[in-house]
Amino acid sequence: MLYQNYIRVLYIDLNSKKIRFEHREDLCEYIGGSGVSSKLFSELVKYGADPLAPEQPVVFAIGPMSTIFPVCTKAVCSFFSPQTGEYGESHAGGRLAMAIRLANTDAIVITGRAESPVYITIKPDDIIFHDAEALWDLKVSESGQYMRAMAGAPGNRSIIRIGPAGANLVPTACINVDTYRHFGRLGAGAVFGSKNLKGLVICGEKDFTIKNPAEYNKIYSEIYDKATKTTLMAKYHELGTPKNVLPLNKINALPAYNLKKSNYEFAEKISGEAFAEEVLQRKVSCSGCPIGCVHVGGLRKLFDAGYEYESNGVSYDHELVFSLGSQLGIKNTTGVLNLINETEEVGLDAISCGVILGFMTEALERGDISVSETLVDLKFGDIDRYLEAIRHIAVPPNGFYRDIGRGLFNFTAKKGGGAYQYALQLGGLEISGYFTGPAHLIGGMTGIRHSHLDNAGYSIDQKLLKDAANLSAKTIAEKIVAEEVVRSVYTSLVICLFAREVYDLETVCRALSTIDIKKTPEELNAVSSKILRNKLDIRAKMGFDLKNYPLASRYFETPSPYGLIKKEFTDEIIGHYKELIGRI
């Protein structure tokens, strides 16, 4: 809690619909965000029980800098992932962090299962359990409309909710945050579904008086200027992350057609430039961020003869341009937006969804699965068939879709694993939109949430590329581990990782000192290691073992910027990684 020596935790028990607050002084050493959420999670998780068992906790947390410093905009969600069966952590922006702060809370812990569907309004002075039976299987946008209208809490509120996929306990379901953001990966949506929890409305008006105005205003302005008047974050506002599409494609690092290729012949048709020129409608920010990286495209669809059109704003970024674009052979911006829109509405993780569809398409081509299972004869580039399959993943009509919705690792494991050497997962989670080289592969496999953002392996690959001839497995492992450690502090503060270069640790310490948190960069590094260690211990107790996640042979058959990646080299990196991570 700002200017206090405790973290204010709201505990909500859905079984009894009772709540309590605790002021936890002991949590301050975990800073906030992912440090606090993972610690709270570790206190309550039932290791032996099913991830979707009612007693499992789902935890949200913000950090000491949330909203009150530029670009500190994320909230963290920790949960037992029903997709990987290990530690689940996801980060989302929007208005959620600000709303949690205004609701006079630092962290929210939800356990139990409501008797019938509910959504909850959280205010500083009240918690309301609303009947959500009528909303339960509604799509994400419609649910949001009802919750906005019925919650009766206008103002600076955040509305998070699940769609049909979460209601159906699909382990790749996401939680939508304020329409354009998500707790996307690892199945937090199914965790909400398992609790009969449709969503949360969070709002409040809690005021926090600035204690050191002169120092605070000075550093705020300095950071604001660095974020808005230098080139450090310009790319995120201009074209947004899809700016990566063409440069990645140029170096053979853009996965296409289920990574049968790493160079997409239609990349220019779905590049950041193409999106901006053809469909970009507006840019939006998370609350407290002056950048505006959320790019919203206009989707205009003919739905009937007589010039009957519908239109919708759909947010897009690089990951989705990959997963629902190049991965599926989609050749135009409208097609990509169409698929994103459907995935958004049913409430699926858009990265996993696209990667799963690409796998299904190739499996059908090979005859490894049949149309009697998929019900749709998927073809690369065929948008209408993909739209139908997305709906089936969210609302499974048969056992095949029930299985594939659990993610590719679970699906292929059930079918014997080894036969599907083209299932694109790393550490049990579908890949993100890079095929930059070995650091990305091992970074994804080892990362604490198997996200490309855990340790930025994709960036390590690109930086090392200029000296590719002298590539060292040990150097790669060192860089992966070092980045994973330092990022633990950023995700605890919780600074958007896009602003990493704006917030060097010295700047972070100066900012913290104005809100009465005295830390040195060395102390932050030490805390960072402790937070990461806690998460590594959690997943070790859940049985996570790297040897259970061998890399598919597809990764060694398609050229990367380094040419063909050698399996022996990745084994060598893993060896070094194990040694280094053991010292954390």
Partner 1 sequence: MTRKLTSPAMSKCILCYSCMLACARVNYRSHSVTRCALKIRTAGGMSGKYAADICRSCERPTCAYVCPTGAMAAKDGGGARLIKSKCIGCQKCVEACKINYLQFDDELKLPLMCTHCGICVKFCPHGCIKISEPKDGNGGEI
Binding site for partner 1 (CB under 8 A): 2, 67-68, 70, 94-95, 98, 101-102, 141, 144-145, 148, 155-156, 159, 178-180, 204-210, 213, 216-217, 220, 224, 228, 282-292, 296, 313
- Distance in Å, CB of 198 to partner 1, minimum: 16
Secondary structure of 21-81 as H, E, C letters: EEEEHHHHHHCCHHHHHHHHHHHHCCCCCCCCCCCCCEEEECCCCCCCCCCCCCEEEEEEC
User: Least Å distance between CB 289 and partner 1?
Assistant: 6
Tell me how far, at minimum, the Cβ of 582 lies from partner 1, in Å.
41
Q: Which is nearer to partner 1, 146 or 359 (CB)?
A: 146
Closer residue to partner 1, CB minimum distance, 60 or 69 = 69
Q: CB of 383: closest distance to partner 1 in angstroms?
A: 22
Question: At closest approach, how far in Å is the CB of 68 from partner 1?
Answer: 5
Q: Which is nearer to partner 1, 208 or 556 (CB)?
A: 208
Cα 128 from Cα 118, distance rounded (Å): 10
Least distance (Å) between residue 8 CB and partner 1: 15
Residues 477, 517 contacting (CB under 8 angstroms): no
Quote the strand ranges of 324-458, DSSP E: 425-426, 429-430
CB closer to partner 1 out of 57 and 204? 204
- Closer to partner 1 by Cβ: residue 67 or 111: 67
| Secondary structure of residue 184 in the 3-state scheme | coil
β 58-61/18-24 pair status: unpaired
Residue 298 has which token pair? 């206009």
For residue 305, CA distances in Å to 299, 308, 439 come to: 18, 6, 51
Backbone phi, psi, residue 109, to 5°: -115, 125
What is the rounded distance in angstroms from the CA atom of residue 528 to the CA atom of residue 31?
Answer: 9
Within 8 A by CB and 6+ apart from 65, the residues are 72, 493, 494, 495, 511, 512, 515
* Closer Cβ to partner 1, 31 or 357, answer by number: 31
The three-state secondary structure class of 308 is: strand
Q: How far apart are CA 154 and CA 459, in angstroms?
A: 41
- Of 297 and 437, CB closest to partner 1: 297
> What distance in Å separates the CA atoms of residue 559 and residue 500, rounded to the nearest whole number?
30
In the complex, minimum distance from the CB of residue 91 to partner 1, in angstroms, rounded to a whole number:
18
- In terms of CB distance, is 52 or 289 closer to partner 1? 289
To partner 1, the closest distance from the beta carbon of 515 in angstroms equals: 9
